[in-house]
């Protein structure tokens, strides 16, 4: 009953096996190997267009590299106030970009409100040297609160961003979970919707440590190659990283793993809806739930062996607090059910 | 017959197995797992003192993080003019340090000449705001030309550095190879010799992608923890990285692998000494050879399937060029011998 | 009737004369001259303790240098959401600090609310590597909305900051105006209240281009000296800059100039209070007024030759907008009165 | 007899008067004033084309801003090993560029040897991510050793640079002195010779503190405007800075001042040529001399009140050392002659 995070999960067997399989003889280093070449072709198929792919080992690296490619040091990155890049990366985007400013925006369920974006853009007029210049919009799909932008919601944001000439980045640490929830194609969810560059996450969904910056705009590629190396994120034995990503997308593994995680979240959410004192903040869409529970329930769950993190939210009080529950590709129905039994008291 | 680099080699089976073994259930993320805790204890035993350990996935990351911890932005990093940090990391130390300056120094076999260090320090007087301030000496062990600093050589450099108040970093991308050549203990080769912090390499010697910043001075630890996260180098599923390093040092695996690589280099060097037109630049000490060969010999080797990189050196001319030959834990005696047969013509 | 900004004013004659007087023979460069030495002694007298003084030519430079000295790159600078450092310096603190994050806080009249500070600090727990680490509190005195922190208000903020180990910076671009309003000594307003370092502004109050970073904590001095040079802010002919600052504080010139500016603002405020449709946001304390005026009044004032900037504030609507009116040491009572006549319609 | 530096000199009366004259009424701030507009027109006339002008207060700021505009963080700045940007600016170019690397090149009289430039470029191949990428060539005119690049010498360097796609920057801290020596037009000496951007110095030649980044390539302008503000180098009361520069170029003042300084250096050089034990390193071309003198002569000069800096050069020994002698617009023939009398012993 470990619902602390999907990064507490291990690795999918298919991915571990791919790593072992990649260990055959010598190979050209720094990405000039055959596995990496295949990966780029496969991702181009998955995204229905030629893409450039920069595998890295953390989402923070993917995000910071992508954002730094899109903004000058005097630029502004428009993000949700709960965005991982703003809150949980210890200033990585600032470091990689040479000191760009992240502008936190409001919006429910960690989805940026288009009006908030428009207002913030208006407060940073173009060409006025006293103010940082908005350069990029970053959206997290699925969001830090487990919600999924609909196509319309994303389109509305992109429209505002494009109206000011901003580039668009998607933090897809849980992109597979979002895609399963949306039921659309990877292309529709990204470049067809106006995304220029994305952080394509695999670690939280079964890889050992594998993310990729996927670039839809070829102009961005050259700069990114140097930035990755300079940040210490170009692996010499790249084949072992590319092999994880190749296995991840092979035969739809990534979507199967994510679908399972989402189903477990839905099962958990449905169960919690029936618990009298449990208050779900949102209907679960991907693989995260945020639920306010009485302290007594929390204590009972902990005593019963359940693991999860507190997640303070407005409305919490001395009697009841919000906790975050994250399911993963490894979550078992039996764990869900055991948790629900404990929650019901 | 792939002698291009030790990073063209694959992974040692023991290390791959350790990664698979680490894949059991959920684990606390970001290094709070049991494998990482064991690794720190084991490395403390190996180095005969408490050490702090920051596993990362590239040598560039390890070096840049370590150097950035030791120098202010207005500082200078004293290094050999052929040092990897200066030549081959696309400015990573500059990025991580906020723009410190690397001061390239001369010295044979890529070993810094203490007189060159002293002269450079004298040219950057302390406290004069017009000049960057020397803050750290970095030495590569074994060096970029495959040589190994003796204890006396390292001591002489450290003495000069300490006389000016510099901290000392060791780039140990091939530390195991150096240690085998030196025949001393890890402690003697590092902190007992005055090293404050090191980049402890495993990737080139059998890991998938595993290096560690090892810190001998506890004062440096806190800053480094934030720097690693901020650079996107803190892995969420750390256990898979720590497992590589743990297996690497378990039962002396690292030294056995390095001893083999070194033996292969010595075998190759001995064979080439007997080839009339081959001119070794240095006696091989670790696992790299630099040898000047006639163009005809180079062509014959290539035609025979041997792979290696050119490595221009002073003295090369239109008829003969220097090439670099790197052996690894995977190099086979049969490959060496086949190469020698081709070289002999 | 130019109320656009106090930096639209010219230079005080005493300051221009001091610059001319400093032009005598040759002088040691980069601050080793006699004028600069005198300035340090005089400022030490003014502040009733030994201070270190770093003259620079802009407030942005003073602020960014001071903040960069107080925060590591992974640090956070706690500031008001309207603070000049956050809004109007195009990311200078981010550049100088290597990418620290500015955390905007709410509070009326551009004064930070201690509860907002405490809440923000709580959201960035100490030692957690995922989050930037609060390192410094910066307060603007007088504030961007022309208000002045009382001794109690400043004390309350400093207490919260000290409780978390933060250093304290004061942006004193209009420090003289605040001091006149407070009626306390420079020492009481700064280091005796817990300020470690300040930006001491003179440009807006009669200098050509002269500010100084004044350091109350001697530990910060060494780093700052290198940072100033490295940022291109160490003037070779320093005497001409120091001479401005020396004349500024000579015989209380700075306080006389500020007192005049404040009086003009009070006169303007009193007059506007009597204008039916004018709504002052705050009682003027220093030399800035923020007043909501009907569009017709604004148009009449502009037509009459008055100059000022719009300053959108909550509550503005299609009929009436807020404007900012800034008085300076050069403002004339006749200008005030002419403005009031126009405003009265 | 102060020959320490031309920045030990004061300000030309015409420039001081222009500053005083600019102090009339209020003026738009941040460069939107009439003086600055006139300055841009006048400099466009002087350079025989439209130029963009960014006045700043130090040469370090001008250089660092210009270089940062021309190089990405992973770029390399090719410079002479004695270049001010490399040796005397405490890493300002590294700070402003986000960590670009300065590549020091050899060449006599502090003029870059085109072969050294070509060799360095060859060692940093284009598109290889391991190496920083050459982005800009910077030349100092006149050089740090008082020499002047001829049109042919500059052309040869520019050809090599252009062959690799580099942009060209000129550090013109002593541009007027070089121009007088060359006898060509400002246009011929800069953009017609391939210079994209320059640091146009006035401080060493009679201003209080005034330099300008002059931009010949309009593409560079927008980025530079933000960089200047962000670095704290945009003055609010810009008119006082622009007035210095306007007076500097008015009626050829700058060239008259420089011609005088050069003549004084020639007079000094001619006199020293006749002193038995004095060895000039180069014929003086601009306003700096480097001469090796016996210690006894140095002592006699110092005792007689002469001031100058030691300047260690190859060939110095225990008996004789090189000193630098800098003349300025204020140097008097009588000072030169008095110095020569002392030198002759």
Q: How much of chain D, in percent, has pLDDT values that exceed 70?
A: 100
Q: How confident is the model at residue C222 (pLDDT cuts 50, 70, 90)?
A: confident
Written as one string, the DSSP assignment of D33-72 is SHHHHHHHHHHHHHTTS--EEEEES-HHHHHHHHHHHH--
Average of per-residue pLDDT across D30-59? 98
* pLDDT score, position D39: 98
| Contact residues on chain D for C225, CB-CB shorter than 8 A | none
Residue C130 and residue B229 in contact, taking contact as beta carbons nearer than 8 Å: yes
Instruction: Give me the residue spans of the domains in chain D.
Output: 11-251, 254-344
The three-point CA angle C187-C134-A326 to 5° equals: 160
User: Minimal CA–CA distance to D212: which of D44, D335, D326?
Assistant: D44
For an interface test with B, the pick among C101, C129, C235 (most B C-beta atoms closer than 10 Å) comes out as C129
Residue A324 and residue A298 in contact, taking contact as beta carbons nearer than 8 Å: no
Assess whether pLDDT exceeds 90 at residue B120: yes
Q: Which of D87, D98, D129 sits opposite B90 (nearest CB)?
A: D129
* pLDDT score, position D17: 98
Which two structure tokens, joined as six digits, stand for C102?
């500015």
Distance of CA B159 to the CA centre of its chain: 22
- The least confident of C214-223, D10-19, D150-159 is C214-223
Q: Which of A25, A59, A65 sits opposite B10 (nearest CB)?
A: A25
* pLDDT score, position C345: 86
Helix D253-273 crosses helix D175-182 at what angle (to 10 degrees)? Answer: 70
Q: How confident is the model at residue C4 (pLDDT cuts 50, 70, 90)?
A: very high
Select the CATH number that applies to the domain covering C11-251 from these four: 3.40.50.720, 3.40.50.1100, 3.40.640.10, 3.30.565.10: 3.40.640.10
Please give the mean pLDDT across all residues of chain C: 97
Angstrom distance (rounded) from CA C264 to CA C271? 11
Q: Which of C89, C90, C131 sits opposite A90 (nearest CB)?
A: C131
| D72 to A223: CB separation less than 8 angstroms, yes or no | yes
What single DSSP character describes residue C113? Answer: P
Distance (Å) from the C-alpha of residue B203 to the closest C-alpha of chain A? 8
Assess whether pLDDT exceeds 90 at residue B124: yes
| A230 to D74: CB separation less than 8 angstroms, yes or no | yes
Each residue of C166-217: pLDDT tens digit? Answer: 999 999 999 999 999 999 999 999 999 999 999 999 999 999 999 999 999 9
| Contact residues on chain A for C73, CB-CB shorter than 8 A | 91, 94-95
Instruction: Categorise residue D90: left if φ over 0, alpha if ψ from -120 to 50, beta otherwise.
Output: left
Distance (Å) from the C-alpha of residue D163 to the closest C-alpha of chain C? 32
Each residue of D242-267: pLDDT tens digit? Answer: 999 999 999 999 999 999 999 999 99
Q: Which of B74, B99, B131 sits opposite D99 (nearest CB)?
A: B99
Q: Which of D27, D28, D90 sits opposite C230 (nearest CB)?
A: D90
Q: How much of chain C, in percent, has pLDDT values that exceed 70?
A: 100
Residue B111 backbone dihedrals phi, psi, to 5 degrees? -100, 130
Average of per-residue pLDDT across B72-80? 98
Q: Is the ipTM of this complex over 0.90?
A: yes
Assess whether pLDDT exceeds 90 at residue C35: yes
Each residue of D8-34: pLDDT tens digit? Answer: 999 999 999 999 999 999 999 999 999
Angstrom distance (rounded) from CA B1 to CA A340? 60
Angstrom distance (rounded) from CA A71 to CA C91? 13
Each residue of D270-321: pLDDT tens digit? Answer: 999 999 899 999 999 999 999 999 999 999 999 999 999 999 999 999 999 9
Q: How much of chain C, in percent, has pLDDT values that exceed 90?
A: 97
Average of per-residue pLDDT across B281-304? 96
* pLDDT score, position B219: 87
Largest CA distance in chain A: 61
* pLDDT score, position A230: 98
Residue A190 and residue A177 in contact, taking contact as beta carbons nearer than 8 Å: no
* pLDDT score, position A219: 87
Give me the tens of pLDDT residue by residue for chain A, a chain 345 residues long. 999 999 999 999 999 999 999 999 999 999 999 999 999 999 999 999 999 999 999 999 999 999 999 999 999 999 999 999 999 999 999 999 999 999 999 999 999 999 999 999 999 999 999 999 999 999 999 999 999 999 999 999 999 999 999 999 999 999 999 999 999 999 999 999 999 999 999 999 999 999 999 999 988 888 999 999 999 999 999 999 999 999 999 999 999 999 999 999 999 999 999 998 999 999 999 999 999 999 999 999 999 999 999 999 999 999 999 999 999 999 999 999 999 999 998
Write the CATH number of the domain with boundaries A254-344.
3.90.1150.10
Please give the mean pLDDT across all residues of chain D: 97
Q: How confident is the model at residue D345 (pLDDT cuts 50, 70, 90)?
A: confident
Residue B174 backbone dihedrals phi, psi, to 5 degrees? -125, 45
| A74 to D98: CB separation less than 8 angstroms, yes or no | no
**DSSP three-state, residue A72:** coil
Helix D34-46 crosses helix D239-249 at what angle (to 10 degrees)? Answer: 30
For an interface test with A, the pick among B237, B309, B331 (most A C-beta atoms closer than 10 Å) comes out as B237
Chains in touch with D (3+ beta-carbon pairs under 8 Å) read A, B, C
Assess whether pLDDT exceeds 90 at residue D204: yes
Residue A131 and residue A124 in contact, taking contact as beta carbons nearer than 8 Å: yes
Angstrom distance (rounded) from CA A325 to CA A27? 42
* pLDDT score, position A7: 95
Give the predicted TM-score (pTM) of the model.
0.97
* pLDDT score, position A170: 98
* pLDDT score, position A62: 98
| Contact residues on chain C for B73, CB-CB shorter than 8 A | 98, 227, 230
Beta-carbon contacts of residue A12 (< 8 Å; ≥ 6 apart): A206, A207, A247, A248, A253, A257, A329
* pLDDT score, position D73: 98
- In whole angstroms, how far apart are CA B130 and each of B125, D92, D209? 10, 10, 18
Looking at the DSSP assignment, which residues form a beta bridge with residue B324?
Answer: B290, B309
Average of per-residue pLDDT across B10-23? 98
- In whole angstroms, how far apart are CA B129 and each of C228, C320, D211, D231? 9, 53, 21, 18
Which two structure tokens, joined as six digits, stand for B43?
């490395």
């Amino acid at each position: 009953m470990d619902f602390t995070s999907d990064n507490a999960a291990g690795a999918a067997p298919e991915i571990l096996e791919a790593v072992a399989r990649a260990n055959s003889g010598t190979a050209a280093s720094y990405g000039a190997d055959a596995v990496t070449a295949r990966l780029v072709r496969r991702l181009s198929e998955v995204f229905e267009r030629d893409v450039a792919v920069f595998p890295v080992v953390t989402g923070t690296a993917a995000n910071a590299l992508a954002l730094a490619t899109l903004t000058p040091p005097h630029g502004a990155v428009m993000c949700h106030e709960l965005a991982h890049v703003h809150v949980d990366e210890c200033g990585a985007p600032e470091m990689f970009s040479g000191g760009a400013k992240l502008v936190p925006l409001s919006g429910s369920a960690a989805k940026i409100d288009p009006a908030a974006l428009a207002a913030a853009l208006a407060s940073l007029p173009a060409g006025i040297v006293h103010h940082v210049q908005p350069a990029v919009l970053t959206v997290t799909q699925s969001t830090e609160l487990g919600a999924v932008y609909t196509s319309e919601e994303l389109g509305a944001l992109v429209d505002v961003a494009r109206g000011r000439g901003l580039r668009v980045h998607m933090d897809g640490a849980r992109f597979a979970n979002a895609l399963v929830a949306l039921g659309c194609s990877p292309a529709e969810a990204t470049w067809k919707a106006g995304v220029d560059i994305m952080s394509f996450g695999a670690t939280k969904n079964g890889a050992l440590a594998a993310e990729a910056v996927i670039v839809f705009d070829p102009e961005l590629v050259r700069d990114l190659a140097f930035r990755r190396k300079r940040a210490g994120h170009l692996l010499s034995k790249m084949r072992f990283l590319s092999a994880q990503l190749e296995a991840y997308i092979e035969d739809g593994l990534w979507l199967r793993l994510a679908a399972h995680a989402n189903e477990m979240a839905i099962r958990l959410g449905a169960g919690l809806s029936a618990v009298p004192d449990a208050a779900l903040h949102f209907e679960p869409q991907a693989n995260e739930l945020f639920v306010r529970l009485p302290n007594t329930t929390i204590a009972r769950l902990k005593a019963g062996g359940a693991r999860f993190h507190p997640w303070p939210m407005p409305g919490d009080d001395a009697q009841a607090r919000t906790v975050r529950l994250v399911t993963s590709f490894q979550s078992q129905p039996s764990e869900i059910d055991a948790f629900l039994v404990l929650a019901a008291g």
